[in-house]
Amino acid sequence: MTRVSFDRSLYQGPCVDEAVKTFSAHASFQLTEEPKAWVVQLDAKTPELERQIAGELGNYALGLTIRTRGSRTP
């Protein structure tokens, strides 16, 4: 099982949730909250696949966060 921590000051929670939904066909996920981070634990068929999904999950969640922040009006 691989653990990925998403710092609340960088990532928006709904974007992390959406990223998990997007990759749910490729691994099983457990989401928890900590005071400073959203934590995702994922389990895939192989450790290599877990590492790949963890990286892609982080990229996807960050991209969604940036896109969401960019669409806000001041």
CA distance 23 to 72: 26
Cβ-contact 59, 18 below 8 angstroms = no
> For residue 73, is pLDDT > 60?
no
Instruction: Classify the C-alpha dihedral 21-30-65-45 as positive or negative.
Output: negative
Cβ-contact 65, 15 below 8 angstroms = yes
> For residue 1, is pLDDT > 80?
yes
pTM of the model: 0.86
CA distance 30 to 33: 10
pLDDT at 69: 79
pLDDT at 74: 46
Residue 38's closest CA among 13, 62, 58?
13
pLDDT at 70: 72
Domain 2-70, what fold? TATA-Binding Protein (3.30.310)
